[in-house]
């Protein structure tokens, strides 16, 4: 059972910018990658935007709020329009996750740069921006539909395995919810996220130590 304290709701408020940035940039990156590979379907669907209303999946958003792992509404693409179908699908699938990881790095850099200001509200907002971006990027690499990792995996499977995998996609949401709310994802992903954040810190800390003297 979830316990909601005043601290929880306060942290939730400061998490909103991080959640929206992670979702909107992730999905917009999919759209722009698809367009770069020759498919204008995302543009026609109005997905080349940072408007959160275009990208939010209600269930995925709730999961992101409550357990910090979630997903957005998939960007529609037509693989037949890609110059190279396989490369196009892989590029589109990975573009969102790589964008999140880049934003996570930028967010941590901004957090470190703002530490001398001693502004706790700004620090909490920036902290959530880099945390949610790294978590969203890593989570979406998991090869379970509808996550991006499933699209990458599918491109490397033989035809018959692809067909069976596509049939499994109908149950993907339920599998995700079960694994999230039983804590399985948290146990697996948290160490990976921590490792990436430690790597970012190892890169940024010497830089800011030198800049700030």
Cα angle value 50/32/29 (rounded, 5°): 55
Asked whether 138 and 119 are in contact (CB, 8 A), the reply is: no
CA–CA separation, 95 vs 112, rounded Å? 26
Structure-token pair, residue 117: 């200001």
Radius of gyration of the chain (CA): 18
**Active site (catalytic) residues:** 27
Q: Three-state SS for 58? A: helix
Q: Are 188 and 176 in contact (CB under 8 A)?
A: no
- DSSP single-letter state for residue 77: -
Q: In a 3-state reduction of DSSP, which class is residue 96?
A: helix
Give the whole-angstrom CA distance, residue 47 versus residue 196: 29
């Amino acid at each position: 059972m979830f316990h909601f304290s005043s601290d929880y709701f306060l942290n939730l408020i400061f998490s909103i910018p991080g959640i929206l940035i992670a979702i909107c940039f992730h999905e917009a990156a999919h759209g722009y990658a698809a367009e770069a590979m020759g498919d204008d379907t995302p543009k026609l669907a109005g997905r080349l935007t940072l408007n959160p209303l275009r990208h939010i999946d209600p269930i995925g958003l709730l999961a992101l709020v409550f357990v910090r792992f979630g997903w957005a509404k998939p960007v529609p693409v037509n693989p037949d329009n890609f110059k190279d179908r396989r490369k196009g699908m892989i590029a589109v699938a990975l573009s969102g996750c790589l964008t999140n990881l880049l934003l996570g790095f930028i967010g941590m850099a901004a957090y470190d740069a703002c530490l001398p200001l001693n502004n706790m509200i700004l620090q909490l907002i920036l902290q959530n921006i880099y945390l949610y971006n790294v978590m969203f990027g890593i989570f979406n690499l998991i090869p379970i539909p509808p996550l991006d990792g499933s699209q990458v995996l599918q491109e490397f499977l033989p035809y018959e395995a692809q067909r069976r995998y596509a049939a499994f996609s109908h149950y993907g949401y339920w599998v995700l919810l079960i694994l999230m709310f039983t804590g399985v994802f948290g146990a697996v992903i948290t160490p990976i996220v921590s490792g990436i954040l430690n790597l970012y810190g190892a890169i940024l800390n010497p830089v800011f130590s030198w800049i700030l003297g």
